């Protein structure tokens, strides 16, 4: 069964540049979906191809997941905070993940996880409830998001998404795929 969250976890992808970041932003979305987020919001840039790609993956493999694009980042963050949500900003300059993850998990608020593609505006550091460093070394936003979500959900990966047309069956060798009826 698709894991139901007691609260909402949304990823805010900042700085998506279609020509340069198309594959990475797609991977941010796929990682968010596979590891338990409810949706991704991509700031500033409308990208209908990204939305369609992720919609098809969700339709094929199941679960409930959406992507919105073209949202302005400041109003999105301010609206999130006004509704009582908390913000996690993934940055190499933050508090180490291992020192703050328990506090983040204890929050009963919905969580907005911010990941960037280019230099983050300084304002984001001040708006975030937690600036979190998965590592203090350069790291891909996809990797940082995957590690954060894995720790946030206590390494309990969801492998059974409801409603899909395709299911991958783990095997030692080869590819096993079930087509659902």
Looking up tokens 């400041």 gives: 74
> pLDDT tens across 72-111, in order?
999 999 999 999 999 999 999 999 999 999 999 999 999 9
- Give the whole-angstrom CA distance, residue 17 versus residue 117: 8
| 123 neighbors 78 (Cβ within 8 angstroms) | no
CATH classification of the domain holding 112: 3.40.1280.10
> pLDDT tens across 136-180, in order?
999 999 999 999 999 999 999 877 789 999 999 989 999 999 998
2 belongs to a structural domain: no
State the pTM of this model. 0.92
3 belongs to a structural domain: no
Q: Which two tokens stand for residue 5?
A: 């969250």
1 belongs to a structural domain: no
Domain count within the chain: 1
Structural domain that includes position 82: 9-179
Provide the sign of the torsion angle of the four alpha carbons 48, 76, 79, 115, taken in this order: positive
């Amino acid at each position: 069964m698709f894991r139901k969250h007691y609260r909402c976890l949304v990823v805010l992808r900042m700085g998506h540049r279609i020509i340069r970041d198309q594959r990475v932003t797609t991977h941010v979305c796929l990682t968010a979906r596979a590891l338990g987020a409810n949706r991704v919001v991509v700031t500033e840039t409308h990208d209908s191809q990204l939305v369609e790609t992720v919609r098809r993956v969700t339709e094929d493999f199941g679960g409930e997941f959406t992507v919105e694009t073209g949202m302005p980042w400041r109003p999105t963050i301010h609206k999130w905070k006004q509704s009582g949500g908390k913000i996690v900003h993934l940055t190499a300059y933050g508090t180490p993940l291992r020192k703050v993850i328990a506090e983040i998990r204890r929050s009963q608020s919905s969580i907005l996880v911010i990941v960037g593609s280019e230099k983050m505006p300084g304002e984001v550091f001040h708006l975030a409830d937690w600036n979190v460093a998965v590592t203090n070394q350069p790291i891909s936003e996809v990797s940082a998001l995957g590690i954060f979500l894995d720790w946030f959900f206590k390494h309990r990966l969801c492998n059974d998404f409801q409603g899909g047309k395709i299911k991958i069956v783990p095997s030692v060798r080869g590819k096993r795929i079930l087509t659902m009826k």
